[in-house]
Amino acid sequence: MRLRRWRSIGVLVALLGLEGSSSWQGVWAHAPEAVESGEVVLRIGRPRILSIQDGSRLFDVGSMNAMGAGRKGPRIEAQDTILSQWSSGGGDPNGYGRPGASGFILISGIGLSGATGIEFEGRGVRGEVVSAGTPEELNPPVLVRVMIEPTAEPGPRAFTIMTSRGPVRSEGVAFVIAEPKILAVLDEEGAPGSRGRIEIFGIGLDQARAVEFDGVGVRGTVVPSEAGFEFVNPIVEVDLDIAEDAPLGERAFVLETAHARVRSEGVRFRVVAPRIDGVWEGHNFRPGEGFRLSGEGARDSFGDVLVFGVGLGGATEVTFSGSGVEARLMPGFPEQQQELNPVLTVHVTIAPDAPLGERAILVVVPRPPGRVDSRDTGITFAIVEPRIDGIADRRGFNEAVAGACGDAEVHGVGLQEATAITFAEPGGIRGVVRSETSNAPLLNDPLRVWLSVDPRAAIGPRAFSLRTPQGEIASGPVVFVVSVPRIVGLSTEERIPAAFTLLWALRSQRVTASLGRGRFERLFRTFQSLEARRMADGFTPGNEVAPASSGEAIIFGVGLIGAQAIRFSGDGVTATVRAISLEELNPIVPVHVEIEAGAPMGERSFLLTLSLSGSCPYDVRDLRGGDFPLSERLQILRGRDKITFSVEREDEALSASVSSHTESARPWRTSGIITKSWASAVRRASRRSSPRIASSP
């Protein structure tokens, strides 16, 4: 997750255009023999435990980071004592469980690889290490099955993890025996006449049997768990039925389990009037304003938009005010319709002569008031002129070195029909537009382009333009930069997010089985990128390791193609560069790192040696050769990808389209499912950042 935040920050910078490029000089780009890491370092520190994930705080997007860093989570009090706060990441690093509970916890830290056992201090808690990662992981999380005796006394338990390099004591982090407690509910709001599923998060809510809501008009039925994997604090799913005449207002509730009746205390479910919280069109960014919950679309374009809010379930029609926008409500999947507040997928077609300006989104629902107007919550959909807002590769960089090639994405409004991309002087960059592979693209999905930078290209920024059936779209202040190699970051944790994602998937089998994965990952990645500025202050990359460790790390930056050797400063650290992909503009450099048992503590800078002969083997300029008749297709096999170039010559300009077919890829369903966790996260973020939304009912 930390690495993703580095990428997200890069995407945000790219979206802002990187206008400050006047200092670049028009000189030829010569690859240096080596690149110094500068402020990027590998830190050697003592083995230690950083945080515990017990399942009770999975409702918080920030706590989806396996290392516990990110947004601050709730503080939990135990025996009138607030346990020490983990200064590195904010939030609560401790784990919790009720007397008599059993299940899994995930312990994250430095130097825990090869863990063989765990011992808890005091009485009443036993643990068994189930997984301690793989030999390739430097800092794997440790998966532990814990068993808490019914007679265990409440309070914190320090613990020690046994590893091949010695015991690691928890210090400042504890597993706390606590009474059952409800921490959150998602979705936390529903409209009269709505039915659907919510989730209750907390401590000790396992074996839930029933739920009772205060007042009248709200009934709930606990859904038996079907997950094959459970944290010690599993999430409770509840099917909710809100009566059509249910009074508006908050409801406390009681969750009955096999061992206790747990009151919600400060957590409330709210019955509210139906409303629209936002519309997602794939971009939702406007220069000068940043991320917006309102949407935009260009004339003569079409695609899906996602409308989310409260009380929109069972909608029968979606329209836009004014003229020029045709909307068609698309059917959702059965799993999507189970949600209390499902996201609506709407296919929109914008006429070529649609008047510019804002439109209201109008949703017809089978409950009062019968029609929901997005203007009531300040949400609109605007028809605007096509524009380019950013360009970046998959890692968020709008830069590449001479000789590089690979995919990039052009972000903006009304770009989907583009057929060609052209770069301005001083030239040296060729590009082709890749054909759309999704069968249901969002209205403003990024435009994928294949770029090839001439090995002799001059350093500096290039404006560019896109050719569409309606004309040329200029990039304006948005530029792509031919740069020199530089190192941006080092991460030892690239496998931790994958491990955590696996645990999340095991917990959410119902969701992951039905989710259009490609689209959701794109939505969530974009949401994170647009939050990056707010999160950046509390972010540090995972660059710490312990003595006597070995495993994989990655170095990321600009133009590290052809990296062949790495040398760390000081004593005690050796590393070997693994194979690097030549198919990306700015590929990561995987390295195998060995830290000696006697390596001194402290920071290590490093030097990355590059090969001067490294260059892109797939240059678009090669398609000009006389061996290829016009309109003939050339297929280049790149690993498991088959790239097909369709070439036409037009007024001495080369235009081409590229389609990619990956044998290992599966055709994900992409009709627009996003989970209620994502929609709720967007709503929570919008309330913090937008008084207009915060004041909505």
175 with 105: CB under 8 angstroms?
Answer: yes
Per residue in 183-202, pLDDT (tens digit) is: 999 889 999 999 999 999 99
Q: Percent of the chain having pLDDT more than 90?
A: 52
The pLDDT of residue 649 is: 31
The pLDDT of residue 604 is: 93
Other CB atoms within a 10 A radius of the CB of residue 691 amount to 10
pLDDT band, very low/low/confident/very high, at 610 (cuts 50, 70, 90): confident
307 with 271: CB under 8 angstroms?
Answer: no
Q: What is the mean pLDDT of residues 205-218?
A: 94
129: in domain: no
36 phi/psi in degrees, rounded to 5:
-85, 145
d(CA 587, CA 565): 15
Determine the 3-state secondary structure of 581 from DSSP.
Answer: coil
175 with 159: CB under 8 angstroms?
Answer: yes
337: in domain: yes
Return the structure tokens found at 443: 């209205």
The pLDDT of residue 331 is: 83
Q: Tell me which of 113-127, 586-600, 607-621 is least confident.
A: 607-621
- Residue 632: which region, alpha, beta or left (left: phi > 0; alpha: psi -120 to 50)? beta
Pick the more confident residue, 417 or 668.
Answer: 417
Reference 504, options 133, 234, 685, 225; nearest CA is 234
d(CA 84, CA 156): 11
161 with 115: CB under 8 angstroms?
Answer: yes
The pLDDT of residue 439 is: 63
Q: What is the 3-state secondary structure (H, E, C) of 398-431?
A: CEEECCCEEEEEEEEECCCCCCEEEECCCCCEEE
Domain that holds residue 368: 275-385+670-694
Q: What is the mean pLDDT of residues 63-91?
A: 31
Pick the more confident residue, 217 or 507.
Answer: 217
Q: What is the mean pLDDT of residues 310-323?
A: 93
Q: What is the mean pLDDT of residues 614-623?
A: 51
Q: Tell me which of 246-260, 602-616, 619-633 is least confident.
A: 619-633
674: in domain: yes
The pLDDT of residue 618 is: 58
Indicate if the pLDDT at residue 68 is higher than 90: no
State the first-to-last Cα distance of the chain, in angstroms, to the nearest integer.
33
523: in domain: no
209 phi/psi in degrees, rounded to 5:
-120, -40
360: in domain: yes
Measured N-to-C along each axis, helices 517-535 and 2-15 cross at an angle, to the nearest 10 degrees, of 80
283 with 14: CB under 8 angstroms?
Answer: no
Indicate if the pLDDT at residue 337 is higher than 90: no
Report the domain count for the chain: 1
Q: Tell me which of 45-59, 61-75, 438-452, 454-468 is least confident.
A: 61-75
Q: Percent of the chain having pLDDT more than 70?
A: 70
210 with 222: CB under 8 angstroms?
Answer: yes
Strand order in the sheet with 550-558: 486-491, 550-558, 589-595, 573-577
215: in domain: no
Task: Give me the amino acid identity at 191.
Answer: A
d(CA 528, CA 521): 10
Indicate if the pLDDT at residue 647 is higher than 60: no
Per residue in 525-575, pLDDT (tens digit) is: 333 333 332 332 333 348 899 999 999 999 989 989 888 899 999 999 999
Question: Pairing relation of β-strands 429-434 and 653-662?
Answer: parallel
178 with 203: CB under 8 angstroms?
Answer: yes
87 with 50: CB under 8 angstroms?
Answer: no
DSSP code string of 208-244: EEEEEESSSSEEEEEPPP--S--BSSPPEEEEEEE-T
Q: What is the mean pLDDT of residues 448-466?
A: 92
pLDDT band, very low/low/confident/very high, at 479 (cuts 50, 70, 90): very high
Per residue in 383-441, pLDDT (tens digit) is: 999 999 999 998 889 999 998 899 999 999 999 899 999 999 988 999 999 876 656 68
The residues, ordered by sequence, that sit 6+ positions from 361 with a Cβ below 8 Å of its Cβ are 276, 279, 307, 318, 319, 320, 373, 374, 379, 380, 381
Q: Tell me the β-bridge partners of 429.
A: 453
314: in domain: yes
Indicate if the pLDDT at residue 135 is higher than 50: yes
d(CA 580, CA 586): 10
| CA dist list (Å): 201 to 180, 186, 224, 471, 606 | 11, 8, 15, 52, 44
Decide: residue 21, CB within 10 A, 0-12 exposed, 13-18 middle, 19+ buried.
middle
Q: Tell me the β-bridge partners of 552.
A: 137, 592
Return the structure tokens found at 275: 């409303």
CA angle 180, 243, 250 (to 5 degrees): 45
- Residue 639: which region, alpha, beta or left (left: phi > 0; alpha: psi -120 to 50)? left
Q: What is the 3-state secondary structure (H, E, C) of 23-85?
A: CCCCCECCCCCEEECCCCCEEECCCEEEEEECCCCCCCCHHHCCCCCCCCCCCCEECCEECCC
The pLDDT of residue 160 is: 95
pLDDT band, very low/low/confident/very high, at 333 (cuts 50, 70, 90): low
183 with 57: CB under 8 angstroms?
Answer: yes
CA angle 261, 262, 266 (to 5 degrees): 150
540 with 86: CB under 8 angstroms?
Answer: no
The overall average pLDDT reported for the chain is 75
Decide: residue 460, CB within 10 A, 0-12 exposed, 13-18 middle, 19+ buried.
buried
Measured N-to-C along each axis, helices 676-689 and 517-535 cross at an angle, to the nearest 10 degrees, of 20
Q: Provide Rg for the chain, Cα atoms.
A: 27
662: in domain: no
Q: Quick one: DSSP state of residue 370?
A: S
Q: Tell me the β-bridge partners of 388.
A: 412
Task: Give me the amino acid identity at 474.
Answer: A
Any idea which residue has 């690979």 for tokens? 406
State which of 9-13, 264-268, 533-537 shows the largest mean pLDDT. 264-268
Pick the more confident residue, 265 or 503.
Answer: 265
Give the total residue count for the chain: 697
pLDDT band, very low/low/confident/very high, at 92 (cuts 50, 70, 90): confident
Pick the more confident residue, 174 or 69.
Answer: 174
State which of 425-434, 506-515, 619-628, 637-646 shows the largest mean pLDDT. 425-434
CATH number, residue 380: 2.60.40.10
Q: Tell me the β-bridge partners of 467.
A: 420, 472
Per residue in 581-592, pLDDT (tens digit) is: 777 889 899 999
Q: What is the 3-state secondary structure (H, E, C) of 605-638?
A: CEEEEECCCCCCCCCHHHHHCCCCCCCCEEEEEE
CA angle 245, 248, 251 (to 5 degrees): 110
CA angle 346, 350, 353 (to 5 degrees): 165
